[in-house]
Amino acid sequence: MSERGSVAVSTAARQLNLGAALLALAVLADSAVEHYRGSFHNKAMYAPLASAALALSGSLHGTMDRRAASHALRDGIYALAAITGIAGLGFHAYNINKRPGGWSWLNLFYAAPIGAPFALTLSGLLGRGAEKARGLRHSRRPDKTLGLPLPRLLAAVSAAGLAGTAAEAALLHFRGAYHNPAMVLPVSVPPIAATLLGAAALAPRRRTRKLARGWLKLTAFLGFAGVGLHAYGVSRNMGGWRNWSQNLLNGPPLPAPPSFTGLALTGLAALSLIEEIERIA
């Protein structure tokens, strides 16, 4: 691969690390708040904090690492994050099922958020993808996983993550009765970006990629803007920010929206990898 191609692949791989870092940071902050609210009554509630902190550290290290080879310790950290997220999904499903009424709308609204732990799994999967992507600079035709070359698989995973995160936002914003029109944005913009990204991954066309990039950039901005909107929502609670110790627990959750930014960044990195591999093929 040419020097230009190597630089492009290295940049995309480190962008994948950055996206994984944002996902890990969102999980770390959100689970810290939510599990503190639950008084850590189950000692397993400390696990996602430790795993997310490790994933965040490893991902930040990856963003600064320009070497072509993957890093064994980061690989191990990402595997741990992915497993912890899946285990957390099981714990949250159990939490919902054991409540009176089981799988009801009320319990989906107010019990442990069913989709939240999977953000840690996504951080692990996409972080592992970043490590594998570093080796693409030495390969003209990347190996296939689940029938797809690595760049297309990363795009598909990012698209699925965006769709799932939007579904989680839809559930919780429905609980809030969409009282603010801006609450429609995270359930409309990311799904469009996810659809276009999926299309670009499976049947790439220049126009589709261009549209996907535009919507992914809008989704990335929406993730940061969402923090401001959630901060405004906290200020509207009784006592506002003067009563921050209680209102931060009541929500809306400040760490949740940056997940959209992290997934948008990984989607953009995957598109860059797809284009670079096609250019040299």
pLDDT band at 243 (very low <50, low <70, confident <90, very high): confident
pLDDT in tens, 192-208: 999 999 998 887 678 88
SS (H, E, C) the chain: CCHHHHHHHHHHHHHHHHHHHHHHHHHHHHHHHHHHHCCCCCHHHHHHHHHHHHHHHHHHHHHHCCCCCCCHHHHHHHHHHHHHHHHHHHHHHHHHHHCCCCCCHHHHHHCCCCCCCHHHHHHHHHHHHHHHHHHHHHCCCCCEECCEEHHHHHHHHHHHHHHHHHHHHHHHHHHCCCCCHHHHHHHCHHHHHHHHHHHHHHCCCHHHHHHHHHHHHHHHHHHHHHHHHHHHHHHCCCCHHHHHHHHHHHCCCCCCCHHHHHHHHHHHHHHHHHHHHHHHC
pLDDT band at 214 (very low <50, low <70, confident <90, very high): very high
Mean pLDDT of the chain: 88
pLDDT in tens, 142-189: 666 666 788 889 999 999 999 999 999 999 999 888 988 999 999 999
Return the percentage of the chain with pLDDT > 70, whole number.
93
pLDDT at 242: 85
Which pTM was predicted?
A: 0.90
